[in-house]
Structure 1
C-alpha cells in the first residue's frame, strides 16, 4: 500500500506544480486552491508512504515522479521544449526510480 501512497504523492505534487504555474499566470483563488490542494495531498500521501518505506527511497521516487510529471505536463499543456535530450534525461530519472524500487 505504501507504494500506492508514494505514487499518489508524486501525482499530487504535479497538481501542486500546475497550481504554482497557474498562480504565476493569474493570481486568483482557484489557482491557490489547486496549489494548496495538490501539495497538501502530496505531503499527506508522502508521509503515509514513509511509515514503511525508507526515507531516502521514498523522497527520491517522490521527487522523480514530480520532476518527470511536471516535465510532461509542461510539454503537453504549456508548449515547452520536446528536445530529445530533455526526454532522455527524464527517462533516466524514471530508470533511477525503478531501480530504487527494485532494490528496496
Structure 2
C-alpha cells in the first residue's frame, strides 16, 4: 500500500508541475489553485509512503517520477522539443526508478 502512496505522490507532483507551467507566473487563478492542491496531495502521499519506505528510496523514486513525467508531458502537452537523446535520458531515469524499487 505504501508503494501505491508513493506512486500517487509522484503523479500528483507531475500534475502540480504541469499546473505550475499553466499559472503563467501565478497570474491565472484556476491553475494556481490546482498547483497548490496537487502539490499538497503530493507531499501528503509522500509523507505517508515514507512511514514504511526508506527516505533514500522513497524520495529518489518520487523525484524520478516527477522529473520523467514532467519531461514527457512537457514534450506532448507543450510541444517542447523531442529528440532521441532526451528520450534515452528519461529512459535512464525510469530505469533508475525501477532499480531502486527492485533493491528494496
Q: What is the aligned residue count?
A: 104
**Whole-Å separation in 2 of the counterparts to 1:75 and 1:63:** 18
Partner of 1:15 in structure 2? 15
TM-score normalized by the length of structure 1: 0.96
Query: Cα RMSD (Å) of the superposition?
Result: 1.1
Residues 1-104 of structure 1 mapped to structure 2, 5 A cutoff:
1-24=1-24, 27-104=27-104
> Structure 1: any 5+ residue segments left out of the alignment?
none
TM-score normalized by the length of structure 2: 0.96
Q: Which aligned runs of 4 or more in structure 1 are off by greater than 2 angstroms? A: none
> Structure 2: any 5+ residue segments left out of the alignment?
none
Secondary structure in 2 aligned to 1:51?
Answer: coil
